[in-house]
């Protein structure tokens, strides 16, 4: 049986059943529903061929060519689905809910599967999730100067049962010029939004949710406008941490990376720290004086963060002094503050 469903229902079904993406591999790699499995009706080359035929000779010619390509591979499609090990319903989509999903839905239905097809395809899913980021949320933003240990605090809050969205983890980047060090390859912007939505959609919007203060861009990832607007309007708890503590933390975090990588990162902020100080930082790096490097870099980032704070839409900023280096203690201190905040 084949049933067409709209994006909202499709997303609910996707929590319980496998999602099959029948678009080509290149489309899938650009961005896909989180957790979806790729069983493409056409290869990238076949899709290009059918698309060219559609534009030159019309829909009928393209459909016939598509069927010529797909029908000999029906056994392969079914075997790929069977390899998932289940016999229950599946959710299926292509780009716009057209021929590709119709053909594959018919194949899977005849193989004994109940198939839910996304009306409007992946395009409608993308429109749905971008709108979903406008849903009003009680966001608490954890801010503070670079080296304040915000990421560790956020993870401790998650361990304490708080709702947390770790944006840097999703983006595979820590936000600064040094943010790519030790991280994996960043996802596409499209995939980041899909993965962010998966977490966003699973939140209890009656309760607060925490996230680290970020600029609109994390590495090469741009936060969705509606989502970033909500973060900018959230209450901000500003962690106030001793500068020496921040320097020591950053030395521990970054001094183990190859100097060539650190030098490349410094080059990205050369204009920001100034030519003379840039040369001084490279000299300090060469001499293994990591504390001096960090201190010069912090002068730049501290000024940048102060400027960013001044531009926040929500001026409700609560400084919280944090002593020591234990993120669990810091997390509990922040919880005490937020629980007393109206």
In tens digits, the chain (342 residues) has pLDDT values of 999 999 999 999 999 999 999 999 999 999 999 999 999 999 999 888 888 888 889 888 888 888 889 888 999 999 999 988 777 899 999 999 998 999 999 999 999 999 999 999 999 999 999 999 999 999 999 999 999 999 999 999 999 999 999 999 999 999 899 999 999 999 999 999 999 999 999 999 999 999 999 999 999 999 999 999 999 989 999 999 999 999 999 999 999 999 999 999 999 999 999 999 999 999 999 999 999 999 999 999 999 999 888 888 778 899 999 999 999 999 999 999 999 887
Task: State the pLDDT at residue 309.
Answer: 87
Q: Which residues contact 167 (CB under 8 A, 6 or more apart)?
A: 196, 211, 212, 214, 218, 223
* CATH code of domain 136-339: 3.40.50.300
Which of the four CATH numbers 3.40.50.970, 2.60.120.560, 3.40.718.10, 3.40.250.10 does domain 2-130 have? 3.40.250.10
Alpha-carbon span 218 to 65, nearest angstrom: 43
Q: Which residues contact 222 (CB under 8 A, 6 or more apart)?
A: 189, 216
Q: Start-end ranges of CATH 3.40.250.10 in the chain?
A: 2-130
Q: Start-end ranges of CATH 3.40.50.300 in the chain?
A: 136-339
Closest C-alpha among 136, 290, 111, 229 to residue 103: 111
Task: State the pLDDT at residue 312.
Answer: 81
């Amino acid at each position: 049986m084949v049933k067409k469903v709209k994006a909202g229902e499709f997303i609910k079904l996707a929590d319980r059943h496998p999602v099959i993406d029948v678009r080509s591999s290149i489309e899938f790699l650009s961005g896909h529903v989180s957790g979806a499995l790729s069983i493409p009706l056409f290869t990238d080359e076949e899709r290009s061929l059918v698309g060219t035929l559609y534009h030159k000779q019309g829909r009928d010619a393209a459909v016939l060519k598509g069927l010529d390509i797909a029908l000999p591979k029906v056994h392969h499609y079914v075997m790929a689905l069977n390899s998932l090990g289940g016999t229950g319903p599946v959710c299926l989509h292509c780009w716009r809910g057209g021929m590709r999903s119709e053909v594959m839905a018919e194949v899977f239905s005849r193989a004994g599967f109940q198939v839910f097809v996304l009306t409007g395809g992946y395009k409608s899913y993308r429109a749905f999730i971008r709108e979903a980021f406008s849903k009003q949320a009680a966001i608490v933003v954890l801010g503070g100067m670079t080296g304040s240990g915000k990421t560790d605090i956020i993870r401790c809050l998650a361990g304490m049962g708080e709702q947390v969205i770790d944006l840097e983890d999703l983006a595979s980047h820590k936000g600064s010029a040094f943010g790519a060090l030790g991280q994996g390859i960043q996802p596409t912007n499209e995939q980041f939004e899909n993965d962010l939505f998966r977490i966003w959609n699973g939140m209890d919007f009656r309760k607060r949710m925490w996230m680290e203060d970020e600029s609109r861009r994390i590495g090469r990832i741009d936060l969705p406008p509606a989502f970033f607007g909500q973060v900018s309007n959230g209450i901000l708890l500003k962690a106030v941490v001793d500068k020496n503590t921040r320097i020591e933390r950053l030395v521990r975090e970054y001094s183990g990376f190859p100097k060539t990588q650190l030098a490349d990162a410094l080059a990205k902020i050369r204009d920001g720290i100034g030519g003379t100080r840039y040369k001084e930082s490279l000299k300090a790096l060469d001499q293994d004086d990591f504390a001096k490097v960090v201190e010069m870099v912090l002068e730049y980032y501290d000024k940048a963060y102060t400027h960013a704070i001044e531009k926040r839409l929500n001026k409700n900023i609560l400084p919280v002094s944090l002593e020591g280096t234990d993120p669990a203690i810091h997390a509990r201190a922040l919880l005490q503050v937020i629980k007393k905040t109206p």
